[in-house]
Amino acid sequence: MIIRFGGVGCAAGRKESSEKRAGRQALASRWLPLIEAGSGGLLVAAALAGAAAAQTPVTSNGPPQEVIPQVGEVGMPNFTMPSGTTNPSDGSGGSGDGSGTDTGGGDGSGSNASGSDALNTMLNQPWGIQAINESEALGINPSAVAATCVVESGCQNVGSSGASSATGAFQMMPSTFNAMYAAALQDDPSLASTTTGSIDDPASQAAAAAEYLKQGAQQIQNAGVSDPSVIDVRGYYNFGPSGAALATAGDGETMAQVMPNVSQSVFAQNGVTPGETVGQYKASVAAKIGNAASQSVLNS
Amino acid sequence: MRQPFATAIALFVMTGVHHAEAAGVHVVRRIPGYTCMMLNETPQQAVDPRVQIPVRAEPKSESPPVGNAMPVVAVKAPLQSVNGFYEALFPNGRRVWIGANRVVPYHSLGDPAAKCAPAVMSNGLVGFDYYH
């Protein structure tokens, strides 16, 4: 990356140098015969003075070329698409080869799901923009909703996996979906005209998921965490009210200790072992979510 | 040459310690006079978002809820019921009241040997120190 960045800069640098070099060569073509012919310092000095008076200043045509880096530097924050905007890189009309100018792979984390990546992933779905609009109508950061579907299904409208009855892009249980969709409808009655209310409808699931995240964030907020992040609320999404405890737990405690009423089967359904520490759980989730993990869930 | 090298090593070690301390939330000290209780719920209720147990500002059923209880609750010890409520500490440090029949002594389904003590955490919130 540094090499590519340097390469861009060097290319511009070469152009500037060639202009200077041309000037130097023009001067040298005038001076050199005199210097070579002269046998004394006085002659050389006189020749130089004459040449200096005769030379024409070399000016560049306009201001110096501005070097614009094409590749993000290591450690620079990733770009996060402002909410409510359309995705300029969804690739729907492009070649779809995915090479583009993606900065993935440069952060060293091995994650493809930074905040903007999560939004892009969701926006690549036909229901993505609708999900963003629903999130904002419910007061939820769209990146939080996008991160949720990225972790749950890669934002694919998939069926149930394993013994769980959770289904869809947000892998919601039917009981949770029904309760959260009803609550979302209360918060935003316009959903009735834009969604079907079926658990098989990803846009309906997005609204229910946004409502679920909202309730989790508010519970954690009431417990004293002033601005719950995506990673704080993730536990609530996985484990319901029991998971709220993860937001205030020490990183060294185990999942079974912090959520004493959660059964082994529920841990297994969520791909978590009871002996896993809270810190390990958060790190694992953060690796999947990318930098959206630290973003606020609630829009201010 | 030796002194700058030693200084660099010392700075490296100090920086490492600083990062180790800063990483993650951890227990600062236990809170005397309080004990760990947990919500009296089935495993199904524990993960059901429709099941919320309120905590109240006063030991009265008509007192407005000030929030929902977390799975583990720091209850004032020794236990003393007032109008069917136990005094408790909310994670933000506020004194609240929770229905006495809504909590039971702490025990973990996934780690039966685990014990618990209310504690102040490094983020300033009331949390818990779990141990065996």
Q: What is the pTM of this model?
A: 0.68
Mean pLDDT value across chain A: 73
CA atoms of A50 and A52, how far apart (whole Å): 5
pLDDT by residue, tens only, chain B of 132 residues: 445 544 444 444 343 333 333 458 899 999 999 999 999 999 999 999 889 999 999 999 999 999 999 999 999 999 999 999 999 999 999 999 999 999 999 999 999 999 999 999 999 999 999 999
The H or E element spanning position A238 is helix A230-239
Chain B residues in contact with chain A using a Cβ-Cβ cutoff of 8 Å: 23-27, 38-39, 41-43, 45-52, 66-68, 70-72, 90-93, 106-111, 114, 116, 121-123, 125-130
Q: Collect all residues of chain A within an 8 Å Cβ-Cβ radius of residue B116.
A: 257
Nearest chain A alpha carbon to B89: A223
User: B23 to chain A: which residues are within 8 Å by CB?
Assistant: 251
- As a whole number of angstroms, the distance between CA A146 and CA A279 comes to 23
- The residue count for chain A: 300
Q: Is the pLDDT of residue A32 over 50?
A: no
Query: Chain A residues with CB inside 8 Å of B91's CB?
Result: 223-225, 248
Q: Which value, to the nearest 10 degrees, does the dihedral of the CA atoms of residues B22, B26, B32, B33 take?
A: 130
Residue A47's pLDDT is: 42
Kindly indicate the confidence band of residue A7, based on its pLDDT and cuts at 50, 70 and 90.
Answer: very low
Q: Do A242 and B52 touch (CB under 8 A)?
A: no
pLDDT attached to residue A86: 42
**What six digits make up the tokens of A2?**
């540094």
pLDDT digits (tens, 9 = 90+) for A91-139: 333 333 333 333 333 333 333 334 558 888 999 999 999 999 999 999 9
Q: Say if A226 is an interface residue toward chain B (CB within 8 Å).
A: no
Per residue in A266-296, pLDDT tens? 999 888 999 999 999 999 999 988 888 989 9
Residues of chain B contacting A262 with CB distance shorter than 8 Å: 43, 46-47, 109-110
Determine the pLDDT at residue B10.
43
Q: Domain coordinates of chain B in residue numbers?
A: 25-131
Residue-wise pLDDT for A53-100, tens only, equals 445 555 555 556 665 554 444 444 444 444 444 444 333 333 333 333
Q: Which residue segments constitute the domains of chain A, with CATH numbers given? A: 2-54 (no CATH), 115-294 (1.10.530.10)
In this prediction, the answer to ipTM > 0.85 reads: no
Query: In the numeric block, which tokens belong to residue B131?
Result: 């141990």
Please give the full DSSP string across B11-78, using - where no structure is assigned: HHHHHHHHHHHHSS--EEEE-TTEEEEEE---HHHHT-TT---EEESSSSTTSPEEEE--SEEEEESS
Q: What is the pLDDT of residue A77?
A: 42
Instruction: Give the pLDDT confidence score for residue A17 in this predicted structure.
Output: 43
CATH of B25-131, picked from 1.10.1040.10, 3.40.50.720, 2.60.120.380, 2.30.30.40, is 2.30.30.40
